[in-house]
Chains A and B, each alone.
Chain A
Amino acid sequence: MLSHHISKLLRRSYSRAISNCRDFTSTNVETDPTKRDPAPFFFNKEIQQCLETLTTLDYNKVFRTRKDGYKQKPPEFKFLTDEELEEARKAAQYRAKKYLQMPPVVKERLEPSEPLCEDPALQDHDTVKYVFTDITYGLKDRQRSIVVREPGGTLRHAFWKERDRMIQTFLPKPERKLQKPKMFEDEYMKDLLNRNEYEFILDRACVQFEPDDPDYKAITREVYEHINAERHFDVLRSTRHFGPMVFHLVWTSNIDNLLYEMIETNRIEDAALLIRLYHMIHPTTKSAVEQCEHTDDVDFIMHYVRLESLKKDKIQKLLQSYKELQREREIVAEGIKQAHGISSENVNINK
């Protein structure tokens, strides 16, 4: 009976510690705009939709040969009816969507601060810490209570580092290492970044860390910044990390390079969507407050570039050249149509 009550108390106090942390974060949001929580924005349905569209599903890239240790199946050739083909396509679409599931972007976790109880009579009961892990079946990792008894007699919740270590010790996850792999250290990271192994780094980080781990945040930030500086967006496009990268760039208001690249590769619709995403996340910026009268994508981008972009001249020039190119293309297309004698309008005019 007693034990039952105490364990209940333990669990409740643990949940209270977590809720305290939450309270702390919520007060932080109001006072400090730079440290606001990205999770409600990231999980917003519209924003998710935007990020998915920006990722651009490319089947060749999604179903490329992956060096992930699984045995590859040889390709099969089949005769299919139309319905079967439709079904197979749908199955492939489903699988592709699974491959492109984005890792979440959430706020950094906070250490539990308050000790559970302090007992000065237990001073020097041992020279080392005791770490107690609850291995009850069927609990989620976040619900597991892990407590530490210090040599000084204090009982406290384990720090996140200790928690991760204990959970990996007693309930190991495949491919996750107990210690941080060497490749995430600075010198090796630099080498990997210079070799453009972005996806490898990000995949490994996803496996190794929880999404709210400060280490994960630092590593992903470094990779995204490097990609942004080198403009290697195409490496990540159509992988699961493109969405979070776009979100990070928008979150830090640093989308000029991405915008430039999108216009350069004739993705005007994507570029407009990117700016709409920017307005959704930063609704108080100049270009979001001053509504654009034009409905055309190019004008919409122009409107943003004029008001906010740091690289105005470059992007404006690029947009101008894009417009001219588009006009020329139209002329050529019309010419071809005329040559084929397809165009109905021209025929009418000629008459």
Chain B
Amino acid sequence: MPRLPLHCSSGTGVISPFSKAIRLARYGCTNRPFYHIVVIDVKKGERKPPIEQVGVYDPIPNMHNEKLVSFNFERIQHWIAKGAQVSTPVADLLGLAGFLPVHPRTYMRAWRNRRTVEKCS
């Protein structure tokens, strides 16, 4: 796979009139996922230059058993106010952070996990 072009972390700043979405873009490499949380046109591909980067998400726990997430809450607020859509994984994270109400999918996952634990024991 060719090396991904890393865009400017503040984004390209080129704003189109189309509707926007806040979603994850996969960076990192094979077997090591790492996501940027970006604002981008809904219909654009994942590898396309984003309008703005508003955070990162590292799904692999570090040595202290933590998953690190960072958000630029000020900009996220701005884009949501402008009517940007929020994708489910991002809404999930924002719900866990206490920024949005907890997403139903998180509750479902929790419930399923509890059920499997019960079954195993």
Contact = CB atoms under 8 A, between A and B. Distances in A.
A291 interface: no
A149 interface: yes
Nearest to B60: A128
B109 A170 contact: no
Interface stretch (A4-12, A34-42, A181-189): A4-12
B69 A6 contact: no
A128 B66 contact: yes
Contacts of B64: 162, 165
A132 interface: yes
Contacts of A135: 55, 70-72
Given A3-B77, A135-B70, A135-B72, A123 B110 contact: yes
Interface stretch (B12-20, B23-31, B93-101): B93-101
Contacts, number: 102
Contacts of A116: 98
Contact of A7 (B77, B93, B102, B107): B77
B61 interface: yes
B73 A125 contact: no
B76 to A, nearest CB: 8
B39 to A, nearest CB: 14
A125 B64 CA distance: 18
A87 interface: no
Interface in A122-155: 122-126, 128-137, 147-149, 153, 155
Interface residues of A, number: 36
- The binding surface of chain A is classed by DSSP as mixed
B67 A122 contact: no
A134 B110 contact: no
A170 B96 CA distance: 20
A32 to B, nearest CB: 33
A155 B110 CA distance: 15
A125 B71 contact: no
Contacts of A6: 98-101
A30 to B, nearest CB: 35
A119 B69 contact: no
B43 interface: no
A117 interface: yes
Contacts of A132: 69-71, 93, 96-98
A232 B117 CA distance: 62
B41 to A, nearest CB: 21
B61 to A, nearest CB: 5
A131 B69 contact: yes
B73 A136 contact: yes
Contacts of B117: 124
A133 B109 contact: no
B46 to A, nearest CB: 22
Interface string B52-96: 000100000100111111111111110011000000000001101
A236 interface: no
Contacts of A10: 98-99
A165 B65 CA distance: 13
Nearest to B113: A124
A227 B2 CA distance: 59
Nearest to B117: A124
Contacts of A136: 72-75
Interface of B: 55, 61, 64-77, 80-81, 93-94, 96-102, 106-107, 109-111, 113-114, 117
